[in-house]
Each structure stands twice: as C-alpha cells, then as structure tokens.
C-alpha cells in the first residue's frame, strides 16, 4: 500500500471526541473560576460592550469640557486683548491730540510768552532746523518740531538767508516765515550798560551807538506804554516821578539794531528786570514788607553810594537803621549825596540857567524817608543787599568814602566828622 493511500485512510478514520459538558459550559479552569473571553489577536480580556460605551461617553464629555474651558479662556483672552488695544488707542489719541493742540496754539501764536520784538540771529545758508532753533531760543516759537513740520508741509524749507532779524514775537508761523524771507538783514550793535546808570545815561549811550535817539528814549520812559509788565503796572505816585522806568531798566549787555524803535529797546530791558526779579526775590521782598518799587528805590541809592559789593550790604544796613530808628537819635533824613541833583548826576549836569537854584524832589537832605522812585538802575547785588543787609552794622547811622573808595562807618555824629576828616572830606 502506498503512502498516499495510507494518508487517505487515516483521514477517513479520524474522529474528534468532545464531552457534552464542555460543549455546553466549557471546561472548568483549574482554579475553579470562570474564564474571561480573550482576544485571539492580543490575548487580553475583552471588555463588555456596556463598558466600552461608558468609556466612549466619558471621553466625549471630557472633550466637550476641554472645548468649553478653551472657549471661556479664549473669550477672556480676546477681551483682555481688546481692552489693552483700546487703552493703547486712547492713550495714543490723547497724546496726538495734546500735541496737535499745543502745536496749533504755537502755530497761531496764541500762547506766546515773548514780549515785543526779538532778535533772531541766523547762520549763513540756514536749514529749517537752524531757523527753528534760533526762533525757539529767541522766544518767537515754543514748538520746534511743529514749526519744522509746518515748513515741510507748506514747502517753506528754502529761501532763507543768514543774518540777524528783528521779529515780532507774537506773529504766527506764516508771519514769522514771511518776515524772515522778506526782511533785510539789519545791522546790530552790542551795548553794555553798567550798574547804576540812570535813564539819562542809558539814553545817551543808545544814541551814541546809533540805536535810537536819546529824546525818544526819555519820552518812552515817561509813557504808559509798558503797563503789560506787572512790575511797571504796580508803580505808585507816578506824578512825583521824573522817569517812570527809572530803576526798571536792568543793567546788562544787549544786542540792538541800529535805528531800532525806542519802545522795543526799553521793552527788552524791562523784560530783563522782570526775569531777574525771580520768585525767590519777590518772596523775599514780600517778607520784608516792602514793595518792588521801594526795594528798587533803596537799592538804587545803595548802588550809587557804595564802593563795592561788600560795602553795599553795610550801607544798606545803615540806611535801614536811619529809616527805622533814626528819629531816636535825631536823624530824620537819609542825607545821601547821590539824590541831591537827580535826575542829574552832579551839579555840573544841571542846565546852567537852573544850576544855582535847582532843588530835586528826590533830595534826601530835605525829604523824609525814601524818594518817590529810584535814582538809577541797580544791579542784582544792590537789590540783594537791601533784602539782606549786614548784621554787623547795628547802631551805625553814618558812612563816608575817601577819594579812593575806602569806606568809613560811624555810630555818632562826632565819629562821623572824625571819619570825614580822615577821609579828606573836611579840613
């Protein structure tokens, strides 16, 4: 019998015996526990269908909750972003608004603090930046960048020449530009006024430098054209004054145009005085119980009488002693030589036909207390001396100087006469 026939016989005779119990219930495990259904692919127990549905449901709910939290978080982020964006827009708008308001006011000249005319020096072939900076320094504009922007928009970036120009500080941008482009370059002159110069001396010096005539200056000093300055508006007893602006023309170095208007010249000097009288000085004047006019008047006498700065503080103290307690020692006048011939400096300055009979309304040998106004234009040191006189001169009522400026101080008339002899003032 062949091998093939044997295999066929074995296949025909093959019988599989499975107990009936195992077919119905499955064979019991050795441990006696019911076996779980297993996957034929991985061998892990299969979960019931009900458990699978529960897991899927939990996953769906978890995803929904995650999406809900993301929506809430996203909404909050969007509101935060919108709020920050809105704040930034508002701040930017406010900043731009303020810039435009400030620039527009300057463009129109609405908030200028400059007074009268100003001198504006420009270099050769000036750029717009050169012009803007020069105008700003002169007080003709307050916003450099806005002026440059205006020049760019209006195509006014050229046609400017170097030189010094006299401009009205109250002009708007267009007026300033037109003045710079049309005005001829004016010749300027620098003038220095020493401390203690009187109005008449200032007028003469201005005429000598061909700035303006002395007569025009003297007339302007008696006018009411400078009431815009608070220090001038507060002047009292005007009818008793020789020159209303005496004491208010600060001694300093100035640049003027040749042929400049007298009011323009004096305006610069009064403005300088107003600036020099700082808030601290004005507070000190008020604390002293004096007016600006009284301080300038006493300071002008101190300026005219003292030989140097240290002497100013001592003379200020002596004059204060005379004013406050002089009557207790039979002293009723300031007796200062510098006031005798005002508004002239000396007897020789008095017109010849009046010289022998001239009597000044300011003569402190005849009037009681201070004269009606200043006798010259004091510097800042004399003003400070009046506000803070020397404490070393308590009880002193007299002073004098020799021909070299050496000062002598005395408590009594007898001491004073001895000092005058030593100074060569008495034989």
Q: Which residue has the tokens 């007016």?
A: 291
Question: How many residues does the structure list for the chain?
Answer: 427
CA 416 centroid distance within chain: 50
Q: Are 191 and 148 in contact (CB under 8 A)?
A: no
Q: Could you report how far apart the first and last alpha carbons of the chain are, in Å?
A: 184
Mean pLDDT to the nearest integer, 71-91 = 67
CB 189 within 8 A of CB 210: yes
Write out the two tokens for 378: 């004091």
Bridge partners (DSSP) listed for residue 118:
167
pLDDT at 38 (0 to 100):
46
SS3 163: strand
The average confidence (pLDDT) of the chain is 85
Residues 6+ away with beta carbon under 8 Å from 177: 151, 154, 156
Q: What's the pTM?
A: 0.65
Range of the domain at 414: 289-422
Residue 337: helix, strand or coil by DSSP?
helix
Phi and psi at residue 111, to the nearest 5°:
-120, 25
Taking residue 255's Cβ as centre, other Cβ atoms within 10 Å add up to 12
Domain boundary residue, one of 141, 161, 182: 182
The answer on pLDDT for 400 being more than 80 is yes
Helix (H) or strand (E) holding 174: helix 173-182
Give residue 325's pLDDT: 96
Domain boundary among 167, 182, 197: 182
Question: Would you say residue 352 lies in a domain?
Answer: yes
Number of domain units in the chain? 2
Is 199 domain-assigned?
no
Among 182, 200, 233, the domain-final residue is 182
- Token reading at 371: 């004269």
pLDDT at 184 over 70: no
Check pLDDT > 50 for residue 256.
Answer: yes
> What's the CATH number where 148 sits?
3.30.1490.480
Region of residue 70 (phi > 0: left; psi between -120 and 50: alpha; otherwise: beta): alpha
Spatial separation of the C-alpha atoms in residues 220 and 226, rounded to whole Å:
9
At residue 169 the predicted structure's pLDDT band, cuts being 50, 70 and 90, is confident
The H-or-E segment that residue 262 falls in is helix 262-276
Given a cut of 80, is residue 79 above it in pLDDT?
no
Question: Which residue has better confidence, 383 or 41?
Answer: 383
Can you point out the beta strands (E) in 45-152?
117-122
Non-local CB neighbours of 153 within 8 Å, separated by 6+ positions: none
Does the pLDDT of residue 168 top 70, yes or no?
yes
What percent of the chain is modeled with pLDDT above 90? 56
420-425: long-range pairs with CB below 8 Å, 24+: 425/400
293 and 177 share a domain? no
Average pLDDT over residues 104-128: 77
SS3 407: strand
Could you tell me if 378 and 296 are in contact, meaning their C-beta atoms sit under 8 angstroms apart?
yes
Going by pLDDT thresholds of 50, 70 and 90, the confidence category of residue 281 is very high
Maximum C-alpha span of the chain: 184
pLDDT, one tens digit per residue, over 27-41 is: 454 444 444 444 444
Strands 188-192 and 253-257: antiparallel
pLDDT band at 109 (very low <50, low <70, confident <90, very high): confident
**Residue 151 belongs to a domain:** yes
Is 382 a domain residue?
yes
């Amino acid at each position: 019998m062949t091998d093939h026939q044997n295999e066929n016989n074995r296949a025909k005779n093959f019988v599989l015996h499975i107990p009936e119990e195992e077919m119905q219930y499955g064979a019991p495990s050795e441990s006696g526990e019911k076996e779980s259904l297993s996957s034929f692919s991985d061998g892990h127990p299969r979960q019931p269908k009900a458990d699978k549905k529960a897991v899927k449901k939990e996953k769906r709910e978890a995803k929904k909750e995650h999406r809900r939290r993301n929506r809430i978080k996203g909404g909050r982020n969007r509101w935060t972003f919108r709020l920050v964006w809105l704040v930034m827009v508002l701040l930017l708008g406010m900043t731009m608004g303020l810039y435009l308001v400030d620039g527009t006011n300057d463009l129109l000249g609405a908030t200028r603090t400059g007074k009268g005319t100003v001198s504006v020096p420009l270099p050769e072939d000036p750029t717009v930046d050169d012009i803007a900076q020069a105008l700003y320094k002169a007080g003709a504009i307050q916003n450099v960048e806005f002026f440059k922007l205006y020049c760019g928009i209006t195509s006014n970036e050229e046609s400017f020449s170097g030189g010094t120009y006299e401009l009205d500080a109250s002009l708007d941008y267009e007026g300033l530009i037109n003045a710079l482009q049309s005005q001829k370059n004016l010749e300027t002159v620098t003038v220095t006024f020493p401390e203690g110069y009187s109005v008449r001396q200032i007028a003469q010096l201005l005429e000598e430098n061909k700035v303006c005539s002395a007569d025009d200056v003297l007339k302007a000093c008696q006018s009411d054209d400078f009431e815009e300055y608070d220090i001038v508006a507060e002047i009292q007893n005007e009818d008793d004054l020789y020159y209303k602006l005496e004491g208010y023309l600060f001694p300093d170095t100035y640049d003027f145009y040749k042929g400049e208007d007298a009011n323009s010249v004096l305006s610069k000097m009064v403005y300088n005085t107003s600036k020099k009288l700082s808030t601290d000085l004005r507070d000190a004047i008020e604390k002293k119980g004096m007016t600006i006019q009284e301080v300038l008047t006493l300071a002008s006498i101190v300026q005219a009488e003292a030989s140097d700065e240290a002497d100013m503080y001592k003379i200020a103290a002596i004059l204060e002693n005379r004013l406050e307690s002089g009557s207790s020692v039979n002293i009723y006048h300031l007796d200062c030589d510098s006031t005798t011939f005002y508004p002239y400096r000396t007897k020789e300055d008095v017109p010849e036909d009046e010289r022998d009979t001239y009597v000044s309304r300011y003569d402190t040998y005849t009037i009681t207390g201070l004269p009606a106004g200043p006798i010259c234009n004091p510097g800042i040191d004399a003003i400070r001396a009046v506000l803070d006189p020397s404490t070393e001169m308590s009880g002193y009522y007299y002073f004098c100087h020799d021909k070299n400026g050496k000062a002598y101080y005395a408590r009594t008339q007898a001491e004073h006469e001895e000092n005058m002899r030593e100074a060569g003032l008495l034989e």
